[in-house]
Structure 1
Amino acid sequence: MVTVTAAVTEASSELIARARAGDDEAFQALTEPYRRELHVYCYRMLGSVQDAEDALQETMLAAWQGLAAFEQRASLRTWLYRIATNRCLNTRRTAARRPATQWSVPGVEPPEPTRLGEVAWLEPYPDSLLDEAADAPPGPEARYEQSESVSLAFVTALQLLPPRQVAVLVLRDVLGFPAREVAAMLDATVESVNSALKRARAALRRRPPRAQHEPAPPAGSAAEDAIVAKFVNAYESADLDALVALLTDDVFISMPPMPFEYEGLSAARDFCALFLGTGREYVLVPTRANGQPAFGLYLRADGVCRATSLLAITLAGNRVCALSRFDGSVLPRFGLPQSLPDGP
């Protein structure tokens, strides 16, 4: 094992030397193993796939330009996370966050929302990118499972925390970096990192409690397939009663970047009735987002099925406890077209 470790270190040192001399291929070989996990990290920090891509590109540019200053006292991975953290903090602090949008569903008047959401901007994260992520195993101090740490509910909650607390919480509780490494990344003391972590945890605990649900069935399992099939059949056949029967009593519906939110069966029924009771016919194309089933939603009209949105659902046992409707502009990230032929 010592020999292998020494060989890896020697190889890395050689790549660093070549990259410092201007070898772009050597730099790519050094950083490519970390690109996907850094992208997921930036997404957790920013809640937007596009913002995460921008932050990742800025990170790689800064790493390329600053490689001469990399003293190898910390690992290359830790050094890259330090750069990415500072880029995300800058975005959270200074960039104009996208505002909420008005209701934009043609021909449909919104029911009175239960409340208006605090997070105006949030994008879904394709599971295909999660599968490609080269996440290192979380450190021993990590508190969150991978699936929980990319859930829409968790990423939404992160957007409500101050930027520095988000960084500390994700680095410590999701990725399991030691406090001293996080302190070095943030140019802070261990004491200040521990204090920020306590405040972040407390803020998450203060969020309005939701009912305890059964765990979601494993991805790709027969149990998941069964509930997904029932959901698709109810939606495509416009069977409102069958759809509502699949929802938990405290089901939660959100529509970022529109702030309208609906909670509970009564509000959910009114909301779903608007879409299913207007003579509209839908086709649902399955995909996955944030570790849960999702669908490209297509409206059938004039011989074509045109994309309207992406619908992500959160499962609890054999029920659906949350639905999130996103604008159709996100569909290309999931490999889904803007229209489908209407036919067998």
Structure 2
Amino acid sequence: MTDARLPGADEAAFIAAVRSGDPERFARITERHRRELQVHCYRMLANYEDAQDLTQETFLRAWNKRESFKGHATPRTWLYRIATNACLDFLEKRKDRAPLPSGLPGPGFEVLYLQPYPDRMLPEDPQESVVARETIELAFIVAVQHLPPRQRAVFVLRDVLGWPASKAAEALELTVASVTSALQRARVTMREQLPGRRLDWRSPATHELSDDERGVVRSYIDAHERNDLDGLTSLLRDDLRFVMLPERGTLVMTAKDAVDGWVSGGLFQRGRDDWRCVTTTVNRMPAAALYLRTPGDLEHRLFTMAVLHVVDGKIAELTGFDATGKPWLGLPPTL
């Protein structure tokens, strides 16, 4: 994301809106940046609802600070600066927005406030708004949460958005040396959190699901609807990582233990065995929305969402989310 990418006519229109003092005119011209700013806030916060709130806070701050815009940077850069600092202010106040120890043997932390990001709310032009698939996937979002807030901001501005060190330093009111040091530390943490993953976040990345991913999610849905426990087991890797948010307890288990655990918890038993599922995507990952019909009910009601990370035709990670009461997912509440 460089200043040169914004046409001069747009910048002139923005300056005119600032000088007009007309809040509706100002809102119309800043609104075009909503989706990309919301993705930026989501990378900082890992929570869709928080990202919505902080994007709105960004627009409010931009209006209140409109006289500070002098045209030295593009309107987009100016808005990103405001959004980043709004997120940092939020994180300073919300001490519950940090990974917690998993409580399981060995090292491990959980991001209990993590929420999925609906693909329909991503910017329409991924290349234009610098949304690479790897930087919206759940594993990346979780890894970023392990960075201290200011280090996190430096990493996102520098390695995701591609800002030069001088611009990031100005936005965060740091020295260039401080930004460089913070970025080096952040990169070390990201390599530890994402071993074996591609770490060149600014180069182009694919945005389409693979045939493998599409096939696995179809098979997962088919097995779920038929209560085919053997079929489900065959889709899972033996080193499956499973978490059901917002509950605590990330588990790494064999495929058989995972399915046995679901059954012992009541799934696929009488009263919880009438499923319908819908294929969807969130965070540019394959997902299944699971609907359950309980005895006496005439409809299947939205229950959970299962987000799948597929490796070599098997489910390596399954992240479950409570999908009830979240209309922003864009899913029908009943089938």
TM-score by length of 2: 0.84
Report the secondary structure of 2:308's partner residue: strand
Decide whether the 8 Å contact of 1:309 with 1:325 is kept in 2: yes
User: For the residues of structure 1 that align with 2:9 and 2:110, how far apart are their CA atoms?
Assistant: 50
CA offsets, 1:135-162, max 9 Å, x none? 6364xxxxxx711101111111111210
- Identify which of structures 1 and 2 has the higher relative contact order when contacts are C-alpha pairs closer than 8 Å and 6+ apart: 1
5 Å-filtered alignment, 1:168-317, equals 168-207=154-193, 209=195, 219=208, 222-265=211-254, 266-274=256-264, 275-279=266-270, 280-301=273-294, 302=296, 303-317=298-312
- The correspondence for 1:126, drawn from 114, 118, 127, is 118
Correspondence for 2:52:
53
2:322 to 304, 321, 327: 327
Distance in structure 2 (CA, Å) of the matches to 1:200 and 1:77? 25
**1:37: Cα distance to partner?**
0.6
State the SS of the aligned residue for 1:259. Answer: coil
The alpha carbon displacement at 1:211 in A equals 9.6
User: Deviations along 1:211-258, whole A, 9 cap, x unmatched?
Assistant: 99xxx9973554433222211111111111111111123221111211
Contact 1:250 1:263 in 2 (8 A): yes
Structure 2: distance between partners of 1:37 and 1:66: 20
**Which region of structure 1 is more displaced relative to structure 2, 42-51 or 202-211?**
202-211
Q: How has the CA–CA distance of structure 1 residues 272 and 225 changed in structure 2, closer, same or farther, with 3 Å as cutoff?
A: same
Q: Secondary structure at the match of 1:122?
A: coil
Distance in 2 between residues matched to 1:323 and 1:201, nearest whole Å: 26
Structure 1 residue 79, shift from structure 2 partner: 0.8
Runs of 4+ deviating beyond 6 Å:
98-101, 112-116
Number of residue-to-residue matches in the alignment: 316
User: Percent same amino acid at aligned positions?
Assistant: 40
Compute the displacement of 1:11 (Å).
5.1
Unaligned runs of 5+ in 1: 102-111, 139-144
Deviation at 1:84, TM superposition (A): 0.4
**Aligned-pair distance for 1:204?**
2.1
Tell me, yes or no, if structure 1 residue 155 matches structure 2 residue 146.
Answer: no
CA distance in 1 between counterparts of 2:53 and 2:36 reads: 15
Unaligned runs of 5+ in 2: 199-204
Instruction: Say which SS state the counterpart of residue 248 (structure 2) adopts.
Output: strand
1:315 alignment partner, SS class? strand
- Counterpart amino acid of 1:56? T
Matches within 5 A, 1:89-100: 89-97=88-96
Partner of 2:8: 9
What SS does structure 1 have at the residue aligned with 2:66? helix
| C-alpha contact 2:111 2:142 (8 A) present in aligned 1 | yes
Report the Cα distance in structure 2 between the residues aligned to 1:122 and 1:8, rounded to whole angstroms: 36
Structure 1's 254 and 278: CA in aligned 2 closer, same or farther, altered over 3 A? Answer: same
Structure 1 range deviating more: 323-332 or 185-194:
323-332
Taking the aligned partners of 1:218 and 1:70, their CA distance within structure 2 comes to 35
After superposition, what is the alpha-carbon deviation per residue over 1:97-137, rounded to whole angstroms, capped at 9, x for unaligned?
26999xxxxxxxxxx97787432211000011125366636
> Please, which moves more after superposition, 298-307 or 78-87?
298-307
Deviation at 1:210, TM superposition (A): 7.2
Query: C-alpha displacement at 1:328, in angstroms?
Result: 2.1
**Which residue number in structure 2 is paired with residue 166 of structure 1?**
152
CA distance in 2, matches of 1:97, 1:283: 35
Deviation at 1:10, TM superposition (A): 4.6
**Higher deviation after alignment, 276-285 or 305-314:** 276-285
Residue 219 of structure 1: SS of its match in structure 2?
coil
Task: Kindly state the Cα deviation for residue 23 of structure 1 after the two structures are TM-superposed.
Answer: 2.2
Opposite residue 40 of structure 1, the aligned amino acid is V
TM-score by length of 1: 0.82
Q: Is the 8 A contact 1:311 1:323 kept in 2?
A: yes
